[in-house]
Amino acid sequence: MSNKSILIIYTGGTIGMKQNPETGALAPFNFEQILEEVPELKKFGFTLDTYSFTPPVDSSDIAPDFWVSLAKMVEKNYHEYDGFVILHGTDTMSFTASALSFLLENLSKPVILTGSQLPIGMLRTDGKENLISAIEIAAAQRNGQPLVPEVCIFFENQLFRGNRTTKHNAEHFNAFRSDNYPVLAEAGITIKYNFGAIHYPTQARELRVYEKLDTSIAVLKLFPGISENVVDSIIGTKGLRGVILETYGSGNAPSRPWFLTKMRHAVEQGIVVLNVTQCHAGSVDMEKYENGLKLKQVGVVSGKDLTYEAAVAKLMFLLGKEGDNALVKEEIVKSISGEITL
């Protein structure tokens, strides 16, 4: 493994904090000194380089232009490193992982996002284990080929496909889940890979990085008693090109005439209305119940088992890629990088 090289990209987040011994306050440390904070990394015996965004970015402040910057950072260093580890705040990590899975077309190297619930400078931190395992996975190869050539999240001993994840816990170390897709690897005494679940390119192609995301979208989350004014305020947004409709159960919504009329009107205006369930597990099936079928009949598109995070990133990506919303409707039901089950 001595010839391996990994680039660690620090964006911000809890993992890059340490406690001031005098005040007890948390503050970012110079991530170029990571080997001093985690001396265990020296045992890998391969090249570890770091790049830090300055100043560090709280993940709540991350926006689509930052996703593009990350993708371009991977592109710039793609031929210099065997893999990439991105340290990121947990709050929007699933959004970033989903976006990168779309922006990095023909990816054939690991891009592993990780972070922590406790700062790396604290005694009980989960950050060291997450970082060490993420680096080991990013460098892992078999017959000269990466074991996991896709965008992933590693957290609390589990490796997930990034665009299948959701942050489900704000307090526990097992912060992420992937309810609709199996884990790609589990780290115990050894790291056991689920090879059947990992995507491997069928042929070598040059990495292509997309740089345009269209944020002309909105989210309409249904709740009992939702009013016409609330729906109007969302779908009437000036310049709107796409709406993520968060529905009940398997893709159901109110069958009231006014609601269906507004959905039909939005579709007729060319707005892509994407049906995503509020449930964390399971899939949209608009033919299962009459209320779901009525949505389909007015032109709402099924998001199948897309996570909310992947739906946001995918809709922005396709709207940025395609000028014609009709093409977006055709493409959004297809799997781009394993984000939906066909």
Secondary structure string (H, E, C) spanning 100-139:
HHHHEECCCCCEEEECCCCCCCCCCCCHHHHHHHHHHHHH
Q: Which of 209, 238, 263 is the last residue of a domain?
A: 209
- Report if residue 339 sits inside a domain: no
**pLDDT for position 29:** 67
| Residues 190 and 107 reside in one and the same domain | yes
- Dump pLDDT digits (tens) for 325-335: 999 999 999 99
Determine the structural domain holding residue 319 and report its residue range: 217-331
What CATH number is attached to the domain comprising 318? 3.40.50.40
Sign of the torsion angle spanned by Cα atoms 178, 98, 110, 57: negative
- Report if residue 96 sits inside a domain: yes
Residue 35 has pLDDT above 90, yes or no: no
Q: How confident is the model at residue 56 (pLDDT cuts 50, 70, 90)?
A: confident
**DSSP structure class, residue 163:** G
d(CA 314, CA 99): 7
- Dump pLDDT digits (tens) for 139-198: 999 999 999 999 999 999 999 999 999 999 888 888 899 999 999 999 999 999 999 999
204 Cβ contact list (under 8 Å, min separation 6): 108
d(CA 208, CA 167): 28
- If one counts the domains in the chain, the total is 2
- Report if residue 131 sits inside a domain: yes
d(CA 7, CA 100): 16
Query: Which of 21-35, 57-71, 271-285 has the least mean pLDDT?
Result: 21-35
Higher pLDDT, 211 or 2: 211
Mean pLDDT of 240-266: 97
8-17, 88-97, 126-135, range with greatest mean pLDDT? 88-97
**pLDDT for position 1:** 44
Q: Which of 209, 242, 271 is the last residue of a domain?
A: 209
- Dump pLDDT digits (tens) for 22-33: 787 776 766 666
Q: Indicate which residues carry an active-site annotation.
A: 14
